[in-house]
Structure 1
Amino acid sequence: MTEKVVVIFSGGMDSYTVLNKAIKDGFDVYALTFDYGQRHVKEVQYAKRACEQLNIQHKIVDISAINSIIAGSSLTDDIDVPDGHYESDSMKQTVVPNRNMILLSLAIGYAVSLEATKVYYGAHSGDHAIYPDCRPEFVEKMQNVAAIANYEPVDIAVPYINNDKIEILADGIGMGLDYSQTWTCYNGREKACGTCGACQERLEAFDKNGLTDPLEYEA
């Protein structure tokens, strides 16, 4: 029987690469997407379409009610998304309190119910400066918890924890992936803004790989 794994799939380019990596590694993949009331909920529709094209199991879970107790992020509150690179201090406004611990906890529960052995998520080194829940020390602690929280231990898999977005894109291009099927921008408008940290990091990755991003941009 093929080993089952759960992939937290936002619809962005990092998790899209992780998703395809798990598929190509021969796992029976179950994609899990969360609507947590994010401003860029457009990514959820990209996730749905990508999973339909890949013909894999996919659940979209509405947990937007958590916004009644978790506040202060420009991704979920009525706060403007800051422009600038991820290295900028202003990008701390995009941190959603405890987000990855919440999402991983739910994904681990789903994995146990499926008898899946792993939960994949797309933390990478470019996130380390701003997002505490993407850092290696957070992953290590979550690994420890996931090993004892249930009768069945679950492994937290982060294949790109030591890679930046430039390297992730290079790996995805090597797999022949089509990144027009992904959404990265923190603003959920018709076109990507091109100025938020997520857009700037994405555009930098394409530029450093000598490629043109297939998405349309406002700027």
Structure 2
Amino acid sequence: MILHLSQVLTSADLMAVLDAVGNARFTDGRATAGRAAAAVKQNEQGTGPAVDGALALVERRLMANDLFRDAARPSGFARLLLSRYATGMHYGSHVDAPLMAGRRADISFTLFLSAPDDYRGGELVIEDTSGERAWKLEAGDMLLYPSTYLHRVNTVKEGERLAIVGWVTSNVRSAQHRELLFELGAAMHEEFGSRGKTTLYDRLSWIHNNLLREWMV
């Protein structure tokens, strides 16, 4: 399941994160990639105390986001990174590593910090069973997708592309199981919102909660 989450960051949050970008020290992004991925990776990653604070802010906002929690079933974050693509930079096709900082990476995300008009090119392209799709979201929006998918960042032809990328360790390891739970949860919310705590809601809740017990790791 690929999920677009709108306005994960408020305008004030986005300004705070961009302030941290201004105080970041950027280094070669290949330092955090495996041997094969490093061969196709050309970007920069930001570090420093201000960046650490910005990444912690993003973690808090995500854990408070109902849609994120319903889709990801997070037990924690394996890693978050601030990435920068200047003109001419790209990241070729790759699959994310299964372990990040000793934690299993089940779900990947890209939180866009640059507005689409701030740069040309630089699309996030994700490949699944239906083919390829290119994504370029508004600043403050996020794309959530299984870490098992091949993906790439197209060459930035003009401007600068800023994003926070991260990896989530989920309480539900299977992407298919997470999607089923997500859809069941949506059906429960719809039923409760329109009709209240009905017999149908109780049955859906019974299925949802017991599947969650069965599938949690």
Choose between structure 1 and 2: higher helix proportion: 1
TM-score under structure 2 length normalisation: 0.28
- Structure label with greater radius of gyration: 2
Q: Name whichever structure is richer in strand by fraction.
A: 2
